[in-house]
Amino acid sequence: METTHTVLQWGLPHIQTIHLYASLPSTNTSAKDQIFRGCVHGTVVWALEQTAGRGRRGRPWFSDSTSLTFSVIWRLPDYAKAGLLPLALGLGLVRELQVYSPQVKLKWPNDLWAGERKLGGILCESTKHQGEIWVVAGVGLNINRPMQAPDIPAVSLAECCGVPLTRFEVLTLALAGANAALARLLADDVEWSEEFERFGNFLHRSVYLLAQGKAWRAIPRQVLPDGRLLVEAEDGSLRAVLAEEVSLRPVGHYQSGEYREGDKNRGDKTN
């Protein structure tokens, strides 16, 4: 159940109003409800506490006063743009958050990492309403304390930069990055391969790709214009994989058992 909330006017082209709640089960669920009740493009749902969020494949994600959890509502022209949105948004966030640490990078397709540890993640969900395509883009970030899970090494922005941070200052930067990311995506102004060379994590190093209970070694080489990841297998062959097909895991983490394929109780993300 939604609690009483405050509405803030923001004024960017793709970030117009913020609905701030003390607590919500899920910012993504609340945002989707707002679409069907009628809302404007660029509406943001921000919860100071999230009690029943979810990530990729339905994995749970909870947040408290040490983290930032929000969802942005956007109207998009087609499903192709919607499919690329997690990548574009991730790059936009990294561009802004690197002011805290150059270690902040995007792990394909939807996680933010700093070095070898997870900083946050993105979950985008699309729906159709009155003939228009709407996307809810949920973001979760560790601000002053990492939200630890047994299988995922975590880090906070405060650890990265060495000073405590307020959620509002991080939100301001994150929303600026989100606004710029959507503008670039709509203008077809994203050079995916070049952007991931600069802002991506785990390129050109051996990783595990996990799918359907199996794992194999490969080296990510490039992000293609359609968002697929081009990987080089151990035999030297190249293959383009979809985010829906595989999960990417650093070799050291997988070998030490920090990731377990098929475990559905771990949080990839956010909302």
Q: Supply the CATH number for residue 187's domain.
A: 3.30.930.10
**CA triplet 33, 39, 44: central angle to 5 degrees?**
80
Write out pLDDT tens, residues 143-202.
998 766 656 789 999 999 999 999 999 999 999 999 999 999 999 999 999 999 999 999
Q: Prior bond to 109 cis, omega within 30?
A: yes
Task: Indicate if 45 and 148 belong to the same structural domain.
Answer: yes
Q: Could you tell me the pLDDT band of residue 45, with boundaries at 50, 70 and 90?
A: very high
Given 156, 181, 199, the domain boundary residue is: 199
Q: Burial letters for 135-164: b for 16+ Cβ neighbours within 10 Å, e otherwise? A: bbbbbbbbbbbbbebebbbbbbbbbbbeee
Our count of domains for the chain comes to: 2
Q: Is residue 20 part of a domain?
A: yes
Task: Indicate if 119 and 53 belong to the same structural domain.
Answer: yes
At residue 125, does pLDDT exceed 70? Answer: yes
Question: Across residues 91-113, what is the average pLDDT?
Answer: 97
Q: Is residue 131 part of a domain?
A: yes
pLDDT over 90 percentage in the chain: 77
Question: Across residues 30-48, what is the average pLDDT?
Answer: 97
pTM of the model: 0.89
Write out pLDDT tens, residues 77-101.
999 999 999 999 999 999 999 999 9
Q: Could you tell me the pLDDT band of residue 64, with boundaries at 50, 70 and 90?
A: confident
Host domain of residue 243 = 207-255
